[in-house]
Structure 1
Amino acid sequence: MEVKKDILWRVYLCFIGMGLFGVAILVKVFVVQNVQGNYWRSMADSLHTRYVSLDADRGTIYSEEGRMLSTSIPYFNLRVDFAADGLRENKGKIFTDNVDSLSIRLSGLFGDHTPAEYKHILRDAYKNKDRYYLLKRDVTFTQYQAVRDFPMFKLGKNKGGLIAETKNKRINPFKLLANRTIGLARENAQNVGLERTYDKYLKGVTGKRLMRRIAGGTFVPVEGYDIEPENGRDIITTIDVNMQDIVETALMNMMVSNEAEHGTCILMEVKTGKIKAIANLGKQPDGSYWEDMNYALQVGEPGSTFKLATVIAALDDQYVTMNNQVNLNEGRWQIGKRTVFDSEPHPGQTNVSIKHAFELSSNVGMAKLAMQCYAKRPNDFVAHLRKLKLDKPTGIDLVGEGKPVIKNTKSRTWSSTTLPWMAFGYEVLISPLQTCMLYNAVANNGTMMKPYLVNAIMEYGQPVEYFDPEVVMDSICSQNTLRQVRQMLEGVVTNGTAKALWSPYYKFAGKTGTALVANGNRGYVDKIYQSSFAGYFPANDPQFTCVVVIKNKADAAKFYGGAVAGPVFREVADKLYAIAVEKQKPMRATLAVDTLLAFKNGQGREWKTILNKLNLPMAGNVNNSSWVSPKVDDKKIAFAQVQQVKGGVPNVTGMGLKDALYLLENAGLRVIIKGAGKVTSQSIPGGSLLEKNQTIVIELS
């Protein structure tokens, strides 16, 4: 009995253990399926599916008058699903019937294989039932349109198997023009220029596409699981293409003829601070020139164009007037162990007015002026330079602006000769753009404007953000100082270093500069000169400020500012005076750019067709027979119904000419048309009582 009980006890124990084990299995199954189910299903799916990014269409950069400066164009990778139902049904009849003609058409379009080779490629892929076969990379939009009409492919994705992957390539239609300022949008490198500064607007929001893994490790899209990207916004710049071409051409001509190393030319609108053109050319290893660096933002010793700041300080602090005398010492003056030289000797020139010393661009005259006024208080001179904002970057909407250097007596390299050398543009570092901002302030009656390059941000052809002119300083100096300074700048052209540039047709004002620049560790022995000219025109009513800075080759035969940079300024001024100053127009952009969208009132069915074709987001529903007015609302295109009174004059304001004529003539009205574009006004208001034989005048713009 004891043995029997012992055996039964063991059996019961095993039975209970197995029962508990079974319950544990059931509990675990329940937990896996219901508690951890989502986690394990996602783990399983991750082995077979994945999300890939869908890049948004990058926004376009436009000039102020609406021309494309940088845009994206579509390219396509063509793939074929050789396991598509249509290609497999009826023993592959569609494929068999079309493979010969398709091979001939592909060979004729791309020219990379013979028809026989294409037929062999297609047959092998069909035999292997390749679901995502790569047929051709980087196909243009024109080629893609042609391929869609080829035999077999024209039957659609399910029957023809054609799959097109879209990708965008960034191009600058005007190539060289303002290339560095507009910038580059690059996949695997840092963007530059406006492409970098406004990247958050231009790039849009990336979407996602679910891809499923199939045999052979290939991933194919899963239909219905795409998160559509949000396209980037467009940018309207201040750049004028015609002005940019003038500036670029003038600078290029001088660079080539003088074999210069690099140069920049900046054109700024006086009243607003808009940069209308900016050229930056550097010599390439093969001797050609390209926009390789933004030299307008790089700091360096400015040379004699800096003398404007020196005379503004001395005049505004009321130490002197422009008629006070200064001794030029015939163009040579020793200070301690260093000697100040004028670029040209002035035999017989001793006591002359400060105005004439400025006109002659005398280094000796400016050095003596600074020592006379500020020798005991050099930091007062420094304080005035800081008041003119020369110690700070301009803040232009471009990344990479250099940091200026204006020394004071606490600076490590300050010496007894620093003050006089600063007076004629040495031992200071500023950028050509800072020089431009200072001269523009003089042209603008003393008001300093912040330079900027973008007018507005656009979305679906409508402005969503404006950038207005920004005043940096209401007045850089007193009106008395300003009056004297402007006379001195005009005197440079009529009686000074730029008199060879004088024009009989209009007056302009400016200052030449010729600076000896260091060549790395070799110092100044190579005699490399930087030629510059800064000025504005026309002098009596300034419209544009222009600064030209060119670094010449070593031992260049021609290097004076008046002979190298000055002619570039004069060429720009001559052409702009002819086309943009005599026929002055308001320079504020209307932002009516040449985009793909031109918002006009129209019929609901037509707008729905447009939005579907362009794959644009729509808010709400639109009645097919309604007349509607579109607008952008929260990144979608919304529509308001345009009410038409039965038996009344149709309301055609905002419509294109075609729709307006359709409504008005069907109502029995005689129509007189003025202008072009869309209807801005109608002589008989919409909804008015309709009378027989009425004539209505509509104005379009």
Structure 2
Amino acid sequence: MEIKKDILWRAYLCLIGMGIFAVAILGKVFYIQHVKGDYWRSMSDSLHTSYMDLDADRGTIYSEEGRMLSTSIPYFDIRIDFQADGLMDKKANIFKDNIDSLSVRLAALFMDRSANAYKKLLEEGYKDKDRYFLLKRDIKFDDYQELRTFPMFRLGRNKSGLIAETKNKRINPFKLLANRTIGLARENSQNVGLERTYNESLNGVTGKRLMRRIAGNTFMPVEGFDIEPENGKDVITTLDVNMQDIAENALMKMLVQNEAEHGTCILMEVKTGKIKAIANLGRQKDGSYWEDLNYALQVGEPGSTFKLATMIAVLEDGFVTPNNTVDLNYGRWPVGKRVVYDSEPHHLTTVTIKRAFERSSNVGMAKLAYQYYYKNPNEFANHFKRLHLDTPTGIDIVGEGKPVIKTTASRSWSASTLPWMAFGYEVLQSPLQTAMLYNAVANNGKMMRPYLVNAIMEFGKPVKSFEPTVVLDSICSPRTLAQLKDMLEGVVLNGTAVKLQTPYYRIAGKTGTALVANGNRGYADKIYQSSFAGYFPADDPQFTCVVVIKNKPHAAKFYGGTVAGPVFREVADKLYALAIQKPRPINGVSVLDTLMAMKGGKGSEWRSVVTALNLPWQGVINNSNWVSTDVKNNKVSFESLSQSPGQVPDVKGMGLKDALYLLENAGLRVVIKGAGRVTSQSLPGGTNIGKEQTIIIELG
């Protein structure tokens, strides 16, 4: 009996313990579900959902005349939610009824697999009830539009499960033209050019999209939880596509002909400093040429084009006049242990300084610098600093090299530095700096900062505009300026650029031929840099053009007048033939007409637009009113236009179709000027209409 009682006691004790443990478990379950339920459910959501970046549409880069230079085009990843309501409805049989015809259409559109293969692929996704099934990556917009008309997909997202994820790819429609200056927007490496400089404006503000993790460690979007991105702004450059094409082709022709290593051609508007064209071409391994580096911004020894700065120094200090003489020593002058040589052999001795400049004599320039600045070399260097040749130009693009003007404090200063500086050695300058200096002479002494961007635009309106910037009011006295102009014209009339003469207009400029070191090999490979810097027409300068070409070793043709000069002449000839026009006012994009520019119009049509595109808007639009439009607080803002009988309608801001409708219905004869939106009307809105009255509307 005692043993039985002992066994029963232990059994009861175990039973009671199990009961208590069960109650504890039930209590914990109740606590977790009802007391801490909200907390653990939120934890579960955080583990299975997360916000991912939603890229904004990047802004477009335009030329000054409104042509796209760099833009984004949409591509789509196509996915299917096989648990969409329509596909899960067994009575409807949407999937089974459409899979054959859908597979045939997919095979015909993409041509990457057979209809049977597509059918098998879709059936696998349907069988697995995949909520985020990938059908196709990176399809173009036209293909996406056609895809939406396919069987099953035409039924809409809820019934077909079709999911289209949009992403943008950056393209340069003109490909080679100014490719390096416009730049590249790249996902996995640093941007370059204007794409980099104005990245913040172009990029916009990134949005957020709530994504839920599903099987296979993939994510699908959760509807209704998007934070919309703010699209990027547009950048309006100073570049002109036609001028860029002319500069690029002229440079390309000479590079190919001379098998040169690389070259640059800069075209600058004299009065403003706008860069109208900037071509940079480098030879590739296969022998072709491409815009690989921005050679216009790279510094190097400029050679004889720097002699203009030397002449500014000696003329401004009053040491000489162009009619004074200098002994050229037959083109050879020993200085210490080194010898100054003229690039072209000659038998000249005593000549005027003007003639020495026209013949591009290194000996002549070196003697002038040595004679007048030997006791105080820094006085010579200070002239160059005053001309801002020791600092970058400040152009609105990243990557400009740092120039070097030596002084006696420089570590590499030697007894030969001063005379060699006089003809463009032992100094470092970029072609763009050379352009800025020559442009100042063309612009009656006023030095302008070169720039590439007119305005940053949002919804067709400038949010920031860039005006011409004066760097130096006058680079020299009027007397010196007149002498410089005469000497630069003399180079073309009687000097090293005589072959560039044309009977139709005058050219002023300077040739340059510099021997370039080739790494450890020094100057043994005889690599020459050919350059020409000048402006045209000389009597009324409109453009400054600088051409710099680095030739191959031992090139048969290497002088600046025969390599760089013809590129300059071709650019000048073609622009002159196009009847050079006076500079237009800087107003951003008076001719630009983008999708983001808002036009006034009929209320009923605008209602259809904002409804179809689901645009946020404010104001009053109905079927009977006419409205003006604007963008305020990221919303399309509408304001009713009063149209009283017998009075002139206010059509400013409207497109031509709507403006004509209102004006002609009011009984007015309409004369049209320009294209785009109405910018002005000769009869103000609200004016009483006379009999057979005419109104002139200007569009822009």
Counterpart-to-counterpart distance in 2, 1:263 and 1:384: 29
Whole-angstrom CA distance in 2 between matches of 1:438 and 1:585: 20
User: SS of the counterpart of 2:93?
Assistant: helix
Partner of 2:407 in structure 1? Answer: 408
Q: For the residues of structure 2 that align with 1:77 and 1:164, how far apart are their CA atoms?
A: 6
Question: In 1, are the aligned partners of 2:593 and 2:676 still within 8 Å (CA)?
Answer: no
Partner of 1:5: none
User: What does 1:112-123 correspond to in 2, within 5 Å?
Assistant: 112-123=112-123
Aligned match of 1:100: 100
Q: Which amino acid aligns with 2:697?
A: E
> For the residues of structure 2 that align with 1:619 and 1:481, how far apart are their CA atoms?
62
SS in 2 for 1:429: coil
Alpha-carbon distance, 1:104 to partner: 0.5
Letter in 2 for 1:559: F
Q: Tell me, yes or no, if structure 1 residue 210 matches structure 2 residue 210.
A: yes
Distance (Å, rounded) in 1 between the aligned partners of 2:91 and 2:217: 26
Distance in 2 between residues matched to 1:86 and 1:560, nearest whole Å? 76
Q: Distance in 2 between matches of 1:462 and 1:77?
A: 33
Give 1:15's aligned residue: none
Deviation at 1:45, TM superposition (A): 1.7
Aligned-residue offset at 1:609: 2.7
Secondary structure of 1:134 counterpart? strand
Alignment pair present for 1:697 and 2:695: yes
> Following superposition of structure 1 onto structure 2, how do residues 380-419 of structure 1 map, counting pairs within 5 Å?
380-419=379-418
Q: Give TM-score, length-normalised by structure 1.
A: 0.92
1:640 is displaced (CA, Å) by 2.1
Deviations 1:120-159 (A, max 9, x none): 1111111111111000000000000000000000000000
**Matched position secondary structure for 1:185:** coil
Distance change (3 Å), C-alpha of 1:695 and 1:378: closer
Amino acid aligned to 1:203: N
Q: How does 1:160-171 map to 2 (within 5 A)?
A: 160-171=160-171
Kindly provide the CA deviation profile for residues 86-111 of structure 1, in whole angstroms up to 9, marking residues without a partner as x: 01213451111111110110000000
Aligned equivalents of 1:307, 1:554: Cα separation in 2: 25
- Specify the alignment match of 2:283 in structure 1: 283
Indicate the residue corresponding to 2:256 in structure 1. Answer: 256
The verdict on how the C-alpha distance between 1:616 and 1:447 changes in structure 2, with shifts beyond 3 A counting, is farther
Deviations 1:225-269 (A, max 9, x none): 000000000000000000000000000000000000011010000
Q: Which moved more, 1:152-161 or 1:644-653?
A: 644-653
Assess if the C-alpha contact under 8 Å between 1:661 and 1:671 holds in 2. no
Inter-partner Cα distance in structure 1 for 2:495 and 2:612: 65
Kept in 1, the 8 Å contact 2:53–2:209? The answer is: yes
**Cα distance, 1:424–1:137 mapped onto 2, change above 3 Å:** same
Deviates more, 1:595-604 or 1:557-566: 595-604
Separation in 1 of the partners of 2:660 and 2:419?
A: 75
1:282 corresponds to which letter in structure 2?
A: G
Aligned in 2, Cα 1:615/1:343: closer, same or farther, shift over 3 Å? farther
Over 3 Å counting, the alpha-carbon distance change for 1:208 and 1:440 in structure 2 is same
2:657 maps to what in 1?
A: 658
Q: 1:246: which partner in 2?
A: 246
Farther-moved stretch of structure 1 (484-493 vs 606-615): 606-615
What does residue 519 of structure 2 align with? 520
Paired residue secondary structure (2:296)? helix
- Structure 1 CA distance, aligned partners of 2:682 and 2:393? 50
Structure 2 counterparts to residues 105-184 of structure 1, below 5 A: 105-184=105-184
Give the aligned partner of residue 225 of structure 1: 225
Q: Which residue of 1 aligns with 2:11?
A: none
Determine the C-alpha separation between the residues in 2 that align with 1:269 and 1:322. 28
Alpha-carbon distance change, 31 to 91 in structure 1, aligned in 2, over 3 angstroms: closer
Query: Equivalences for 1:570-609 in 2 at 5 Å?
Result: 570-581=569-580, 583-584=581-582, 586=584, 588=586, 591=589, 592-609=591-608
Partner of 2:327: 327
**The 10-residue stretch of structure 1 (112-121 or 362-371) with the greater mean CA deviation from structure 2:** 112-121
> Is the contact between residue 459 and residue 635 of structure 1 (CA under 8 Å) also seen in structure 2?
no
Unaligned runs of 5+ in 2: 1-19
Whether the aligned pair in 1 keeps the contact of 2:81 and 2:131 (CA below 8 Å) is yes
Letter in 1 for 2:306: F
Matched residue SS, 1:428: coil
**1:477, distance to aligned residue in structure 2 (A):** 0.7
Task: Compute the RMSD of aligned alpha carbons.
Answer: 2.5
Q: Structure 2: which amino acid aligns with 1:504?
A: P
Q: Which residue of 1 aligns with 2:556?
A: 557
Q: Which of 667, 671, 674 is the matching residue for 2:672?
A: 674
SS at match of 2:578: helix
1:302–1:31 Cα change, 3 Å: farther
**In 2, are the aligned partners of 1:650 and 1:686 still within 8 Å (CA)?**
yes
C-alpha change, 1:369 and 1:31, in structure 2 (3 Å) is farther
Q: Partner letter of residue 149 of structure 1?
A: T
Whole-Å separation in 1 of the counterparts to 2:335 and 2:205 = 63
In 1, Cα distance between the equivalents of 2:455 and 2:102? 48
- The SS at the match of 2:617 is coil
C-alpha distance in 2, partners of 1:683/1:277? Answer: 37
1:90 match: secondary structure: coil
1:189 is aligned to 2:186: no
SS in 1 for 2:277: strand
2-structure distance, mates of 1:423, 1:666? 73
Residue 87 of structure 2 is matched in structure 1 by 87
C-alpha contact 1:67 1:594 (8 A) present in aligned 2: no
What CA deviation, in whole Å up to 9, does each residue of 1:478-530 have, x standing for no partner? 11111111111010000110011111111010000000000001000000000
1 CA distance for matches of 2:596 and 2:349?
68
Partner of 2:16: none
Q: 1:117 and 1:449, CA in 2 relative to 1: closer, same or farther beyond 3 A?
A: same
| 644 and 321 in structure 1: CA distance in 2 versus 1, 3 angstrom threshold | same
Distance 1:559 1:684 in 2: 63
Greater shift after overlay, 151-160 or 655-664? 655-664
The 1-side partners of 2:87 and 2:476 are apart by: 81
Find the counterpart in structure 2 of residue 339 from structure 1. Answer: 339
Whether the 8 Å contact between 1:69 and 1:173 is mirrored in structure 2 is: yes
Q: Distance in 1 between matches of 2:446 and 2:689?
A: 57
Q: Distance in 1 between matches of 2:551 and 2:503?
A: 30
1:356 aligns with 2:355: yes
1:567 equivalent in alignment to 2:572:
no
The DSSP-based 3-state class of the residue aligned with 2:599 is: coil
How far is the alpha carbon of 1:600 from its aligned partner?
2.4
Partner of 2:76: 76
Q: Distance between the aligned counterparts of 1:620 and 1:689, measured in 2?
A: 28
| Residue type at the aligned position of 2:432 | L
C-alpha distance 621-134 of structure 1, shift in aligned 2 (>3 A): farther
Distance across 2 between alignment mates of 1:475 and 1:286: 47
Residue 32 of structure 1 deviates from its aligned partner by 11
- Aligned counterparts of 1:128 and 1:344: Cα–Cα separation in 2: 81
Query: Which whole-Å CA distance do the structure 1 matches of 2:224 and 2:146 have between them?
Result: 27
Within 1, Cα distance between the matches of 2:682 and 2:181? 47
C-alpha deviation, 1:679, in angstroms = 4.1
Aligned partners of 1:580, 1:514: CA distance in 2, in Å? 32
What SS is found at the alignment partner of 2:89? helix
Aligned residue in 2 for 1:4: none
Give the % identical residues: 69
Tell me the CA shift for residue 378 of structure 1: 0.3
Contact 2:183 2:195 in 1 (8 A): yes
Partner of residue 490, structure 2: 491
- How far apart in 2 are the matches of 1:32 and 1:524? 86
**Do 1:679 and 1:698's aligned partners in 2 also have CA atoms closer than 8 Å?**
no
